[in-house]
Amino acid sequence: MVDIIILLTLLALGYGFGRYAEGRHYRSIIQREEKLQYLVAVSTKIIPPGEQYSQSSLVCGNVVISVDFFKRFLAGLRNIVGGRVMSYESLVDRARREAILRMKQEAEALGAKLVFNVKLETSSISKGGGNSIGSVEVFAYGTALIPHS
Amino acid sequence: MLVSNLEIVPGKRIIKHLGLVQGSSVRAKHVGRDIMASFKNIFGGELKGYTELLQESRQEAMERMLEQAKSTGANAVLNVRFSTSSVAAGAAELFIYGTAVILE
């Protein structure tokens, strides 16, 4: 009986705080993405001819995000029937966008206008532990090109 | 030292290739950070402790790579790549490699 109460409390806490945190994070991501729209990040290697760049520098951004208890519970249920695991999709989406934003912020601080050869790397850092934690790390890196000032 | 993950440097010519240079660092988690992380596992959200930890270890791996590049007499490292692997429960390896070159 006590176990059930603890489980329900954790689920309720996870649902409440998780939803709030996700909503807030998405709002902040959308706002910052709009602000950094002028800074283009592309995954090609070929630099368009024409403009001269005086400097290039490696820029990177990383983030570790964890899923809440409620969503992990849902994903556990989903494992039984199979199909799309929506609760993890939003987690990975948030992590990727946040990592790219942090990379762009670093490029912005250098005065760059373009980021080339952007690569994204996703890894689950706590894999292999006793309790498998639903946290994911995304690392984004690329080369920022700084035009002649 | 110029570090870039492109194969060329705009406006500069590569005089000599000096081969592969690499640097790695294996880090374990901190108990305090681990406790905070287990709270976050209920509420969800960013694990700032881990973000910083991984950032620091990448910095260290990068420094090791640059040291190696310096000892070969290079002045730039191109085509840099990062890789992450978990070698044991609670420890992560950050590995960076690239090509050391001399630019004019």
ipTM of the complex: 0.85
For chain A, percent of residues with pLDDT exceeding 70: 93
Structure-model confidence comparison of residues B34 and A72, the more confident one:
A72
Q: Indicate whether B35 pLDDT > 60.
A: yes
A149: pLDDT confidence band, cut at 50, 70 and 90? low
A144: β partners: A57, A115
| pLDDT digit string, tens, across residues A88-137 | 888 899 999 999 999 999 999 998 888 999 999 988 766 544 455 568 88
Chain B residue closest in CA terms to A11: B42
Cβ A141–B84 below 8 Å, yes or no? no
- Spatial neighbors of B16 by CB under 8 A, at least 6 apart, are B101, B102
Choosing among A59, A60, A64, which should be mutated to test the B contact, i.e. which has the most B CBs within 10 A? A64
Coil, strand or helix: which one is A50?
Answer: coil
- Return the CATH class of domain B2-103: alpha beta
Chain A residue numbers with beta carbons less than 8 Å from the beta carbon of B83 are 121
According to the model, what pLDDT value does residue B90 have? 66
**Cα A127 from chain centroid (whole Å):** 18
CB < 8 Å to A25, chain B:
45-46
What was the pLDDT predicted at A15? 87
> In this complex, do B43 and A45 lie within 8 Å of one another by their Cβ atoms?
no
In this prediction, residue A129 carries a pLDDT of 44
Of B5, B39, B46, the residue nearest A140 (C-alpha): B5
CB A75 within 8 A of CB A88: yes
Query: Above 70 in pLDDT, residue B20?
Result: yes
Q: Does B14 touch chain A (CB under 8 A)?
A: no
Which tokens belong to B47?
């694990």
* pLDDT of B66 above 60: yes
Query: What are the sequence ranges of the domains in chain A?
Result: 2-147
- What kind of architecture, by CATH, is found in domain A2-147? 2-Layer Sandwich (3.30)
**Strongest mean pLDDT among A35-49, A98-112, B29-43, B44-58:** A98-112
**Is residue A83 over pLDDT 50?**
yes
Give the least confident one: A59-73, A133-147, B21-35. Answer: B21-35
